Amino acid sequence: GNQIGDEGAKAIGNNLRESSIQSLNLAGNQIGDEGTKAIGNNLRESSIQTLSLSGNQIGAEGVKAIGNNLRESSIQTLYLAGNQIGDEGAKAIGNNLRESSLQTL
């Protein structure tokens, strides 16, 4: 990883809207819930189709922001392995699968 933490993830996340980035790989960093919330809350108006956040420090609160924005996003592939999302985080993703574009989880 590149030792990107919450502050770096916030800077990236807050600038995703209307960007042309289609694939974002931030695996193996030190991103926690705050950084993940910034990314998740900006997915709706982004072009991101593949999002890899594996091997970070993401908990349920961060994943909820992704899950709650799945339906209106372009995300087709989502990698979250190696985090601490727990049951609550898994529910947030699972409850939003039906109307999403997600193909790979």
Pairwise CA distance, residues 85 & 103, whole Å:
20
* pTM beyond cutoff 0.85: yes
CA atoms within 13 A on the CB side of 89: 18
Q: What is the mean pLDDT of the chain?
A: 96
pLDDT band at 27 (very low <50, low <70, confident <90, very high): very high
pLDDT at 68: 96
Do residues 62 and 35 touch, judged by C-beta distance below 8 A?
A: yes
Whose tokens are 């916030």? That residue is: 10
E strands, 1-105, where?
23-25, 50-52, 77-79
Percent of the chain residues past pLDDT 90, beyond the cut: 95
Please report which confidence band the pLDDT of residue 54 belongs to, taking 50, 70 and 90 as the band edges: very high
Q: Exposed/middle/buried for 66, CB within 10 Å: 0-12, 13-18, 19+?
A: buried
Structure tokens at 14: 């807050």
